[in-house]
Amino acid sequence: MDIRQLDYFIAVARLRSYTKAADELFITRQALSKAVHNLEQELGEALIANRDGALEATEAGRALMADARPVVEAYRALERRYLGEGGRSERVPQLSVSLVPGAALTLPKDLIDRFAESHPNMLLSVESSPTDVALSMVKSGESDIGIVGSAPAYLGDFDYALIVETGTYVHVPLANPLVRRDHLEARDLDGQPFVTFGKRDHLHRYFMETCAELGVAPNVLMTTSNIDLLTGVALQNDALMFGLPPSENVEPIPDYPLVPVTLRPDVPFGTYAVKRKGDPLSPAALAFWEYLEG
């Protein structure tokens, strides 16, 4: 039990709404719900109950609220005394973002830094993680928003918005005749030696599922999420490898040209912002979501 948990519980009990309390506290509903649930688990009693569609404190919750209020108020008074009116007693908007490194490189340069600079009073946490971890963090409520490289077919469990339609590109060895083409189709990859990302990566799934639908069979030599190992194996075997679209964030690989390839014209692959399906965003997360869409 800590002051934060008590503060969160009191807000929910007072407002009778996780959503309203989350907005007031500048945190996500998921983080708030988790904090209250953890407090209930620690105490071994339900503190908030849903009665006929409305939230209210249980008998144990009302007793805790009566005891906890003066403690929380005394703590706030202590903060004001030693930190001043502008100290921690002023609630700081918090935003947690899970960011896939490859997706980050497709965003406009310094986009997140510019958002942080324009919101100096916001506590921004950015976690770099693989796609499956980023999505898991959003689903569990650990992150407000995820930024991933994906396609709509793999984001059905989330609300999502396309930030950058990247398309797909492959590095082609100079010795391969395909290097002379300005553009490739999925069928051009039939039988071609290929290295690609780990099987949980959405680009790998997008690629392999598209090939299977079209009857195309690339010769996949290796799948790995280790980019250095992936590049090394590709170069040693004159194999094709996916690459990021040309941008100011990406350094070209010498003697390994990048050629656009159309896999599914009807399904845009790109960089997406994702959030928990159907759940409202906190004010801080909503500001960031609108910033990404704009």
45 forms beta bridges with: none
CA distances from 264 to 75, 158, 286 (A): 58, 21, 31
pLDDT at 259: 96
What does the alpha-carbon distance between residue 105 and residue 190 come to, in Å, rounded to a whole number? Answer: 29
Same domain, 215 and 254: yes
The CATH number of the domain where 221 resides is what?
Answer: 3.40.190.290
- At residue 122, the pLDDT reads 84
d(CA 238, CA 173): 6
Judgement on whether residues 62 and 184 belong to the same structural domain of the protein: no
- Give the residue with greater pLDDT, 110 vs 142: 110
The reply to whether 36 and 100 lie within a common domain is no
Same domain, 21 and 35: yes
- Domain with residue 123: its CATH number is 3.40.190.10
What is the structure's pLDDT at 85? 57
Is pTM, for the whole model, over 0.75? no
Residues 139 and 276 in one domain: yes
Q: What is the pLDDT of residues 32-49, one digit of tens each?
A: 888 899 999 999 999 999
Percentage of the chain lying above the pLDDT 90 cut: 55
- Confidence class for position 196, pLDDT limits 50, 70, 90: very high
Q: Is residue 88 part of a domain?
A: no
pLDDT of the residue at 84 = 65
pLDDT at 91: 62
Do 75 and 154 reside in the same domain of the chain? Answer: no
Residue 54 confidence (pLDDT)? 78
CB contact burial 231-240 (16+ within 10 A = b; e otherwise)? bebbbebebb
Quick check: 248 and 107 in contact, CB under 8 A? no
Q: Give yes or no: residues 105 and 222 share one domain.
A: no
Q: Which residue has the tokens 């082609």?
A: 172
In terms of domains, do 254 and 189 share one? yes
Mean pLDDT on 70-93: 72
Range of the structural domain that residue 23 is part of: 3-83
Residues 183 and 108 placed together within one structural domain of the fold: no
pLDDT of res. 163: 95
Same domain, 220 and 282: no
